[in-house]
Every structure is written in structure tokens, then in C-alpha cells.
Structure 1
Amino acid sequence: MFYNIMDSRYLIEALEKWNFWHQDIETGIRRTKYLKEALRLIKVPEIIAYVGVRRCGKSVLCYQILENLIQSGVPRENTLFVNFEDPVFSESLSLSELQEIFNTYLEFKNPKGRIYLFLDEVQKVEDWERFVLALYDSRQLVKIFVTGSNSKLLQDRISTLLSGRYLTQKIFPLDFKEFLEFKKIDIVKISAKARIYHYLREYLQFGGFPRVVLEKEIIIKNSLLQEYYNSIIEKDVILRNNLKNKTEVKDLALYLMSNIGSLVSTYNLAKKIGIAHQNVIHYLNFFEEALLIERISKYDVNVKKQIYNPDKVFVVDTGLSHIAGFSFSENIGHYLENLVFNEYKARGKRIYYWKNSAEIDLVIKEGLRVKELVNICYSLRNRAVLDREIRALEEAGAHFQKAVKRLVFWEKSEEVEAPKEIKMISIDILSISDLSLS
């Protein structure tokens, strides 16, 4: 049901504040890599689905697309943006209510020609995909964009009803290069390595959520991160899945936030936290669906063996680990590994880990072969640590002979070098250069 809406006049007034019909709306700093692709996809007929954790910038991207359309000559009344997180709407809307919203827009705005429809956080509408399918198949002049903060609802259900009619684009929090752009820092003009590492520390600790990055006051940064973390747990996990035992969910989430980059098994988690094993399995799936965490498996040519080995867990944004109480200074190595994982993930890589007598932090696979072996280490000042990392890469390299071997580090002694076949990469270079991940 609608809240606070008595007839179509009130509905259109509620929509006014989210649309460009009679006003310009602040569209924030451009995220060029996403906006460029978005403007290309305007020309294709398929439905565009943007999927990403809440507050990562999906709505702002939609506004930037809308602004670009209007600047290119599209009449303002030919655009409709519906924010389903507006308190004017109830927690769950029906298919008929979504149809009513669209019909009311048509009645009051009477657009002529192609319409650009944006449905923000669409998973809050029951059977929304049926509305979108009907609109798409009617061959009306409507270009449809949807966004959502739940991977399952925007993948499983879309693929069932909208097969062949949609394209999915994943949106992530800012990477380090974007972080610098948002802060208006020209990396070319930063001559001192220490200054780059100052910003890297800030990025690792507070993450890449756009609003958090732009905030200067640490106390407000922390408040924003706490709000985001609570909203993901409360709304996208507990409320979405109608979970009764909030304490179990929060305890497991807290444990995962404090163990990023670590190996975890569902059985061990159940024992440590005192939760039924089946509940652990369900909660982990719900965390992934909410895009809070990502699990990677041990690489093995035998898929069954992959299933029975523990997973490695990473968080979508390290700021969430920080706000959950995971000490930054004591665990910077884990934060560093999470950063590198996110860099690869944002580029659409298939990622595993590998463990034999030695361990490889990240195994990057393309097609049927392993392309890269990546170990991440905070400090290589100790020769014994360097030797350990080299041995691990060499051992894994014997199994995956064509794979590029990389050793990513934060700091090292000037005299420390690795064999030529191992590429040593400083984290600042990895984080700002697309070439390093080519």
C-alpha cells in the first residue's frame, strides 16, 4: 500500500521531488567508467539492471544519465525516476501499485515519444519483473533502467522472466583511483610517496562509499558507515528474509567483518558462534545476496573438492569492517588483501585462492586457465618473510606454469628484490593503474 497518498494528485506530487520535471537536481561527481558505458547502453533496446550494495552510487548514476539525456534534448516530461525507498511508499508494493504509478505519470505528464523509466531499489516491489516484461514486450517507446541492492532478486528472478531482454551492470564503491578523483587530488602532482600512502590509509580505513569519501569530519564518516552497516544488516538481511533471531545474524556478521581475508568453514563458524550449522549456511547466503560479503573457493580442478574446502571471505568495502570494530592498525595486512581482491573483482575477474604446503592469496582465472597468482604482504622488510612469499609463488607456479606471478606489498627494504619471473608491485601502483591488472 501507499503511505500518505490519497489520490493521483498526491502521488504525482510525491514523485515531483525525485524528478527533473520542474527543477534541476544535484547529480554529484561523475564516475566516468560507469557513465560512459551507461550512455552507450541507452542506445540498445535491452532493460538495464544496475546491481550494487546500498549507498554505492547507483541512484546518483541514474541521475547523471537523466541529466545527460535532458542536456541532449530529451524533454523533461519524458523521464520518470521512482525511488522505492521514499517513505511515502510502504515497505512492500504490489504489481498493481507499480502500474498505478506509471499510469499516473502518463496521465499528468502526457509524454510524447520515447520515455526513459528508472525504477530505483525495485526489489521492494512484488512481481516488479512482470510489469517490466509487459512494458518491454508491448514495444512501447520506453527505455527501462532498474537498480537493486540484492543480487538474488536481480539475477535469479530476472533470468527467469526476462531472459534475453536485459543487461546487468555491477556497481561498486569507489576504487582508489576514483577516491583520489573525488578528493580532487591529481596523482601526477603527488611527488612524495608518503602522501600517496596517507591517502591509501584513509581509503583502507574508511572505504570508498562516495558520501563517506567526500565527508571531512571523521566522526561523521564513522556515523555514516555505522548507518550503512546497520541498514544492510537490518533491511537487506533481516527484514528482507524475515529472520527472527537478530542476535545470531549480527554476531555472525560481526565475526566476518573481523576476519576479512581469512579462511572460514561453516562448521567452524557454527561452533565458534554457537549457531546451528544450517543457520550459518543460510545467513552467509543472505549476506552475499545483500552484497555485503563475497566468498571465494579454493582452486581445484575437481569441483567437488572445492565445495568441501573452507572459503575465504571478503567485504564489499573495508570501511564496513572498520566500523564493525576490526582494528585497522593491527590488521592492515587483511585490509590490504581485501583492497586487492576488490580491485580484481571490480574488473570482473574470476577469483579463487590456492593452498597446498604453501598458500596463494588470490588465483585469477580466465577461461579454462589460471592467468595470475597473487600474494599480498604488508611488509617485505624481513628477508624471511620475502623468502616465504617467493617460495609460495614458485611452488604454485610449478602447478600453473603459464600464470603470471605477482607479489603486492605496502613496504619493503631498498635492497629487497625477487626473482625476475615474480613481478613485485607496490600497492599504490596497483591501485591507480589499470595496466597492472591487464
Structure 2
Amino acid sequence: MRIKRDKYLDDLKLRMGNGMIKVITGIRRCGKTYLLFELFGAYLRSLGVDEAHLIEIALDDDQFEDLRDPKALSHHIRERVADDDGQYYVLLDEVQYAMSSEELKDKDSPPRLYGVLNGLLRLRNVDVYVTGSNSKLLSSDVMTEFRGRGDRVHVRPFSFAEFMQAYEGDVYHGWAEYVTYGGMPLACAMRSDEQRARYLEDLFAETYMKDIIARNGIVKTQELDDLIDVLASCIGSLTNPSRIEATFKSELHSDISRNTIYTYIEYLKDSFLIEESGRFDVKGRRHIGSPRKYYFEDIGLRNARLGFRQVEETHIMENIVYNELCLRGYVVDVGVVEKRVRDGKGRQVRKQLECDFVANKGSERLYVQSAFQIPTRAKEEAEKASLLEIADSFKKVVLVRDVLKSRWDENGILTMSVYDFLLDPNSLRL
């Protein structure tokens, strides 16, 4: 199965020779190595780059174990770079293997690897590309430790459009499979549901959980397990550490603290398992603190975590829409729209309506409702209520799972099939 990942390949092409370290981040097993070595490597070779000028090192491979020492890595690369006019491309995969556990725990001193990478930038004929599977190792340090010379590309599991490139059935059966097993590349290549389920369950337990526990020295692993189950069960719902703490006390009889919950959530975000979406007051044009929503980067991993017992399409579709908006480069918040209404006694009171997503990209903004189905006029009115209270002229979209022709109503609100939205990268430019 060969999936074109043109969006990410184009991102790398645009960054070639820009004098910065290209940092490719993403959850483990999402396809970063394939992008870097197979797709980008093939592109470089198509330009005529010869093997002597292409330095590819997979640091998670035992054959490169000796190069996990930053000093040895630097020596190896510099030894291969000749002082000539040719351009050299250094492709380093899973660079966290070149960072010791002591360095990772030290909050005051940067890992030695960062010095190696900064040193390579001083070589006039070297272009550097690295991948990593932990945000604190790279993405959050890019601008500080690389002194403004880091450029991040975040890779996600297959989107629905990428998944459908290799799916042999129709879009409806493809959707049913995608909302269950998600877009992890190896899972998509497997032939049976049993294989996919077992792979995702093992991947979560044996790779992500073990990584998080080992990297952060977690002792109370049961509390981390319980927290992940709580977050997986409430995708698309507002929550915060205080509410989760109350759930732990009332239902799990646990005395886990709010601070521990917050810390564990940060660990899950750092490993790219989950993402956090804040709340934005549309009329007040300001961000609101808590509560927030949490979404999984891959819905198949979320379902596997819950033993495939909570495959409810309403919330899963919202998660998939969130991921797609992020993939397209939007910064995504949960919208809050305040409306004045009269209560039962005729008094004016404030009522908060929710717009699922406020998506911003530069000067562009979108308001998006993930409605799943609109079987009645009353349901349609309820889904559009928050959008009707927004007075600005930015595009307002309602996404439904139904098959329908995109249509505008008299208030300028676009209703679109989620299939059209996901399969056409230009769908929101109507």
C-alpha cells in the first residue's frame, strides 16, 4: 500500500535550503520515517542528488547505536561532508535516541544534540531534517534552543482522504472502517478487523504507554491508565482537571490530585496522543480559560483504548473534523457565543451557545458545526443557533454525515456533507 502524502512532502520541499533545521514531529508509527526516507529521499534523488551527498541515519536502528552519542554523531556527519560546492542533505530519524534520560530530566540545560544540530547549520552546504516523537524534545524547544532557526512540520496519521487512496470499497464502507480503526498506517494495511484491533491495542500498551511511563518516571501507572480512559470516553465534551478529579473521587475512589492530573495530561500531549482545544468567546473576542476539550490524534487508538466499546459516531466525527482542520493549518478553538434570552419569569438572562470550532489561519476564520445528522427542522435550528448569533462575515459551515449537495441558506450558512469536506482539500473555498 503506497499512500501519497503530498501535503507533507510539499511542506518539506518549500523548506529546502532555508537555513533552518526542519523538525518533523508526530506520534510514533504515524509515518514520519516513510515521509523522510522514502518520499523525501526519493524526491531528492529525482533531483539528481547522489548517494554521497545524502546522509540518512535512523537512530532507532541498532546499526546506528554508536551514533546515539551526540559527539560521535557530529563526527560521523562532518566526516562525510566534503568541503566542496555540492549540497549535502542530512536526514536524521528519531533523534530522541541521541538524548540521555539525564538530559531529558534537566530543565535548565539543553541536550547536547541541540548543539550538534546548531553546529551543522554553520556548514554552508548542509541542509538538516530531523524527526522526533515527543513534543518537549523538539517542537517546544525549536524556537529557543535552535535560536529561531527551527522549522516544524507536524505529521499526523492518515487523514480520511489519504485512507481512501488505498481503500478498495466505497466511501460509506470506508467511513465505517475509518471511524473504527482510524488512520495509523500499519493498521490500514492489515486485512482483518482482528489484526487491526490487536495491533492498535498492543501499540497503545506496548509503545505509547511504556514510552510515557519510562520517560517521565511515573510510578502510579494505574492513575495514568484511568485518566486516559476518562479522556477517551469524553472526547467532544468540556472538561478540566477539577472535573476529572471529582470523577476520580466519586467513581474510582481515588485521591489523585488536580496537579497530578494536569501533569499527566501534559505528558499525553507531549507524546502527541491527545490535543487540547481551548474556548474562545466569539463576541468578546477573547480566550476563556477552563474547561477545555480533548481530542485524540488517531481515533483508532482512542477506540482501541476503550476496547472498541464506545464507537459513537457523533463524537468521533467531531474528533475527525477537528483533526482535519488542524491538518489544514488552522488553529482550532471551541467557540462560545453569548445570547440574551428571557427566563420563565420574564427576566433577561445570559445564555451560552456553543460553536463546535472557531478555526483561524492568518486573517482567515471559519465557524464550523459538526452536526452528524439533521433529521428535523428543530434539529437544524438548534445546530445553527450559535452561528446565527455571530454577526461577522466569516464563513459559517454545518457538516453532516448525510449525502447531500452543498447548499447555502438565506443567512449565509453553508451545509455540507462531511464526506465532501474531508475528501476535497479545497472544500471550504466554496
The answer to whether TM tops 0.5 is yes
Unaligned runs of 5+ in 2: 100-111, 249-253, 339-351
Contact kept? 2:134, 2:270, Cα under 8 Å = yes
Q: 2:94 corresponds to which residue?
A: 121
1:137 aligns with 2:118: no
CA distance in 2, matches of 1:270, 1:90: 42
1:379 aligns with 2:373: yes
Q: 1:388 corresponds to which residue?
A: 382
Q: Alignment partner for residue 75 of structure 1, among 38, 42, 50?
A: 50
Q: 1:6 corresponds to which residue?
A: none
Q: Alignment partner for residue 288 of structure 2, among 292, 303, 306?
A: 306
1:360 aligns with 2:341: no
CA distance in 2, matches of 1:211, 1:182: 12
Deviation (angstroms), 1:372: 2.1
Q: 2:421 corresponds to which residue?
A: 430
CA distance in 2, matches of 1:264, 1:92: 44
- The verdict on how the C-alpha distance between 1:97 and 1:304 changes in structure 2, with shifts beyond 3 A counting, is farther
Q: 2:245 corresponds to which residue?
A: 270
Deviation (angstroms), 1:146: 0.3
Q: 1:39 corresponds to which residue?
A: 13
Contact kept? 2:241, 2:261, Cα under 8 Å = yes
Q: Which amino acid in the other structure matches residue 133 of structure 1?
A: N
Deviates more, 1:254-263 or 1:159-168: 159-168
Q: 1:30 corresponds to which residue?
A: 4
Deviation (angstroms), 1:51: 1.1
Give the SS at the match of 1:310.
strand
Give the SS at the match of 1:264.
coil
1:410 aligns with 2:395: no
TM normalised by structure 2 equals 0.82
Q: Which amino acid in the other structure matches residue 227 of structure 2?
A: L
CA distance in 2, matches of 1:417, 1:28: 37
- The verdict on how the C-alpha distance between 1:339 and 1:264 changes in structure 2, with shifts beyond 3 A counting, is same
Cα deviations by residue, 1:385-412 (Å, 9 ceiling, x for unpaired): 22211223223x2xx4223221111138
Deviation (angstroms), 1:143: 1.7
1:158 aligns with 2:142: yes
Give the SS at the match of 1:249.
helix
Deviation (angstroms), 1:29: 3.5
- The verdict on how the C-alpha distance between 1:330 and 1:217 changes in structure 2, with shifts beyond 3 A counting, is closer
Contact kept? 2:388, 2:411, Cα under 8 Å = no
- The verdict on how the C-alpha distance between 1:372 and 1:36 changes in structure 2, with shifts beyond 3 A counting, is closer
CA distance in 1, matches of 2:61, 2:386: 52
Q: Which amino acid in the other structure matches residue 306 of structure 1?
A: I
Give the SS at the match of 1:263.
coil
The alignment of Structure 1 onto Structure 2 pairs a total of residues equal to 394
Cα deviations by residue, 1:305-360 (Å, 9 ceiling, x for unpaired): 612x2001111011111111265775110000011111101011111112343211
Deviation (angstroms), 1:259: 1.5
Deviation (angstroms), 1:266: 0.8
Deviates more, 1:292-301 or 1:322-331: 322-331
Cα deviations by residue, 1:278-297 (Å, 9 ceiling, x for unpaired): 01111111111111111111
CA distance in 2, matches of 1:365, 1:124: 35
Q: 1:337 corresponds to which residue?
A: 318
Give the superposed CA RMSD: 3.0
1:320 aligns with 2:301: yes
- The verdict on how the C-alpha distance between 1:330 and 1:315 changes in structure 2, with shifts beyond 3 A counting, is closer
CA distance in 2, matches of 1:30, 1:405: 30
CA distance in 2, matches of 1:144, 1:417: 47
Deviation (angstroms), 1:255: 1.5
Deviation (angstroms), 1:367: 4.4
Unaligned runs of 5+ in 1: 1-26, 186-194
CA distance in 1, matches of 2:258, 2:322: 27
Cα deviations by residue, 1:169-206 (Å, 9 ceiling, x for unpaired): 11111111111113367xxxxxxxxx322111111111
Deviation (angstroms), 1:368: 6.8
CA distance in 1, matches of 2:63, 2:285: 48
